[in-house]
Structure 1
Amino acid sequence: MRQTGPLNLITDVPGLRVGNAEDHPGMTGVTVLVPDEPATASVAVLGGSPGTRETDLLSPEQTVPTVDALVLAGGSAYGLEAAAGVTAGLVARGSGFKVGGALVPIVPAAILFDLTVGDKPWSLPGADGPEPPHRRLGRAAFEAALARGDRRFTIGAAGAGLGGTAARGRGGLGSASTVLSDGTIVGALVAVNALGSVTIGDSDHYWAAPFEIGDEFGGRGWPSPMPRDAVDLVTKRGGLPVANTTIAIVATDATLDKAEAKRMASAAHDGIAHAVWPAHTPFDGDLVFGLSTGRRPLGEDAMMELCAAAAATLARAIARGVHIARTRGTDD
């Protein structure tokens, strides 16, 4: 029987913390994942319009072996500054890659486009007022991650998903976890701002329904009969090119090297395809980070189950975050 971790959050993976910070008038926010110790990570990008910082160094052939934090942010290109706030927090904590006498925290980041919702005067032509808030929000989300002793965090209309949208409604911040047959834990964290739809046709049933555990996103199952418009290409009305993205982190306590972390991230993209239709379009910046805390050995022939669980867990996280954002606002 499939089962979730105790929180059904990515922080069920031992050694991970997550914090959120929001600018509610601007309808934008930041979500930061902080491992207790530097963690192995890689990335897979399948969308046509990604926005990233320090992702090249996550390729398996590159030198830097671990990361100190990962950042998901709203704000389009402005949101990349959130990583600078996290970097400052890590230096103050004495964390980072040692280069001579200096510390250089490794903080890869990905962003989504939420500039068309909320009050964002700093993004308007000729703006000469307040600075974009994302550097401040990055530091605040980092501090929030460290402050939560129970490792819970808010999902739904929160963090990087605060201003997210999708076809037929709002997006959101989602998370889920799965315990594998050998006790390995896989978790997913996602900010949904997709061009496509997470629901099937003109219904309130989720594409991710076959992967649902319990009633974590309503327990509605498949619609019966299937709507005639189920596979019509319904996207955001008036959607702008390069204005959409689903950005995610999948993590495990199994010991992976960078190549294996990239394989897990690549497989997890199937979770986006299972939960969003259409996905990976030229106008989405779909991206998945893969992260390993390395706290337990990877069992023999376990990589296939791990990759399948990464996809299923990410699909559930997408539907769960959107469902909570649309029905309750937030869940903490």
Structure 2
Amino acid sequence: MASDSLTPISITDIEGFSFGHWTDGDAATGCTVIVAPAGATGGVDVRGGAPASRETDLLRPENTVDVVHAVCLSGGSAFGLEAASGVARELERRHIGLDVGPTLVPIVCSSCLFDLAFGDAFTRPDVAAGAAAVCTALDGGADALAEGCVGAGTGATVGKLLGTDRAMKGGLGARAFELGALKVGAIAAVNACGNVVDPDSGAPIAGARDAADGTRIVDLEEGMLRAGADLSMPLDRTNTTISCIVTNARLTKAQATKVAQMAADAYAHVIRPTHTTNDGDTVYVLAAGTIDEGAPDCPLDLIGLAATRALEEALVAGVREATGMHGLPAHCDL
């Protein structure tokens, strides 16, 4: 998946960002925060038909505010947006935010995935959960970010088109690369309606299982074509894969938005089908501008390509690192 010219690094090695999770394994939900204490330039691309989000309009290039202090990826469907308020409150308490005179207002973008049908539908990431994830990010000092059934990926599942009983466990993945002075990473909570495949070979990694013994992953796209007009996608199989690209590059809002658009191609490379009417697929980009002052500006297309590769690997890692929970098997179980 990764080119030889891209050197793998830990996503925590990208200067200007801190990362933290809040996880409730019993209820199968959680949230993940990406904090930029000094602020970062943000962009976003939303391609799914059912997004649950906060402050995405602010990221439009023509709008005024040009700094983001955190992105919160959360379970809990629209209820999970409450966690972003906890992120904002904790950042304000730590004097991180946009100076508006009487106080500092942290700019917190957020997107949520649907995990209500997997664990406890009435336990969702809330204000306290968002604040706790920030404390982990800024006080934890971890050298690596936990992956799998943690944070926003705790209740993630994939391959639900044939019913939740034939689905498999998804999760959260994080991967990063450096190319010269450029560093680019991606975090993804993989909760797709479709199957997850190897982007190079197309071989299935996790997804809808056959009805016979549940050990073979079926081709959902071919199944959809065969179903034709009889195909149905009820709301109880609502999904959404949410991601955040982080980089040390110097970008404008318009450039960050373009990188998000390019990186979204990773979804099409890895998830089949993707961007359905019941997915709220969203990709954020945060650019800290911490790259060495003497480093030449990287071509935008190169940054977008590196972001796409990082997101491909993060999506795959999200299901490879997951473990079986609440009766659903994971990739490692098959």
Asked if Structure 1 and Structure 2 have the same fold, meaning a TM-score greater than 0.5 normalized by the shorter chain, the answer is yes
Query: Relative to structure 2, which stretch is displaced further, 95-104 or 259-268?
Result: 95-104
Within the alignment, does 1:313 sit opposite 2:310 as a pair?
yes
Summarize deviations over 1:29-87 as a string: whole Å, max 9, x none.
00000113111101110111111011110111111110111100000011000011111
Within the alignment, does 1:244 sit opposite 2:236 as a pair?
no
Q: Taking structure 1 as the reference length, what is the TM-score of the superposition?
A: 0.82
Residue identity in the other structure for 2:116: L
Within the alignment, does 1:269 sit opposite 2:264 as a pair?
yes
Deviation at 1:149, TM superposition (A): 1.9
Partner of 1:125: none
Deviation at 1:326, TM superposition (A): 3.9
Equivalent pair of 1:46/1:285 in contact (CA under 8 Å): yes
Residue identity in the other structure for 2:173: G
SS in 1 for 2:181: coil
Equivalent pair of 2:9/2:178 in contact (CA under 8 Å): no
2:193 to 192, 195, 207: 195
Summarize the Cα distance change of 1:313–1:233 in structure 2 as closer, same or farther, 3 Å threshold. Answer: farther
Partner of 2:138: 146
Give runs of aligned pairs for residues 266-305 of structure 1, distance below 5 A: 266-296=261-291, 299=296, 302-305=299-302
Query: Relative to structure 2, which stretch is displaced further, 279-288 or 149-158?
Result: 149-158
Give runs of aligned pairs for residues 167-206 of structure 1, distance below 5 A: 167=159, 168-180=167-179, 182-198=180-196, 206=197
Partner of 2:199: 208
SS in 2 for 1:69: strand
Deviation at 1:117, TM superposition (A): 1.2
Equivalent pair of 1:195/1:284 in contact (CA under 8 Å): yes
Residue identity in the other structure for 1:61: E
Partner of 2:54: 53
Partner of 1:128: none
SS in 1 for 2:176: strand
Unaligned runs of 5+ in 2: 160-166, 206-216, 226-231
Distance, in Å, in 2 between the alignment partners of 1:260 and 1:49 is 25
Distance, in Å, in 2 between the alignment partners of 1:105 and 1:316 is 30
Summarize the Cα distance change of 1:242–1:65 in structure 2 as closer, same or farther, 3 Å threshold. Answer: farther
Query: Relative to structure 2, which stretch is displaced further, 68-77 or 148-157?
Result: 148-157
Equivalent pair of 2:169/2:322 in contact (CA under 8 Å): yes
Residue identity in the other structure for 1:293: A
Distance, in Å, in 2 between the alignment partners of 1:176 and 1:47 is 23
Deviation at 1:100, TM superposition (A): 2.1
Residue identity in the other structure for 1:311: T
Summarize the Cα distance change of 1:170–1:144 in structure 2 as closer, same or farther, 3 Å threshold. Answer: same
Deviation at 1:241, TM superposition (A): 6.1
1:6 to 1, 6, 9: 9
Residue identity in the other structure for 1:196: G
Equivalent pair of 2:74/2:125 in contact (CA under 8 Å): no
Query: Relative to structure 2, which stretch is displaced further, 138-147 or 149-158?
Result: 149-158
Residue identity in the other structure for 1:280: H
Summarize the Cα distance change of 1:133–1:179 in structure 2 as closer, same or farther, 3 Å threshold. Answer: closer
SS in 1 for 2:288: strand
Deviation at 1:194, TM superposition (A): 0.5
Distance, in Å, in 1 between the alignment partners of 2:221 and 2:261 is 24
Partner of 2:213: none
Query: Relative to structure 2, which stretch is displaced further, 61-70 or 296-305?
Result: 296-305
Deviation at 1:157, TM superposition (A): 0.6
Summarize deviations over 1:122-163 as a string: whole Å, max 9, x none.
6xxxxxxxxx54221111111000123244221101100100
Deviation at 1:229, TM superposition (A): 4.1
Residue identity in the other structure for 1:155: E
SS in 2 for 1:119: coil
Q: Taking structure 2 as the reference length, what is the TM-score of the superposition?
A: 0.82
Distance, in Å, in 1 between the alignment partners of 2:30 and 2:62 is 32
Summarize the Cα distance change of 1:233–1:73 in structure 2 as closer, same or farther, 3 Å threshold. Answer: farther
Give runs of aligned pairs for residues 96-107 of structure 1, distance below 5 A: 96-107=97-108
Deviation at 1:281, TM superposition (A): 1.1
Within the alignment, does 1:164 sit opposite 2:165 as a pair?
no
Residue identity in the other structure for 2:305: A
Query: Relative to structure 2, which stretch is displaced further, 320-329 or 158-167?
Result: 320-329
Distance, in Å, in 1 between the alignment partners of 2:39 and 2:63 is 16
Distance, in Å, in 1 between the alignment partners of 2:175 and 2:223 is 27
Summarize the Cα distance change of 1:229–1:112 in structure 2 as closer, same or farther, 3 Å threshold. Answer: closer
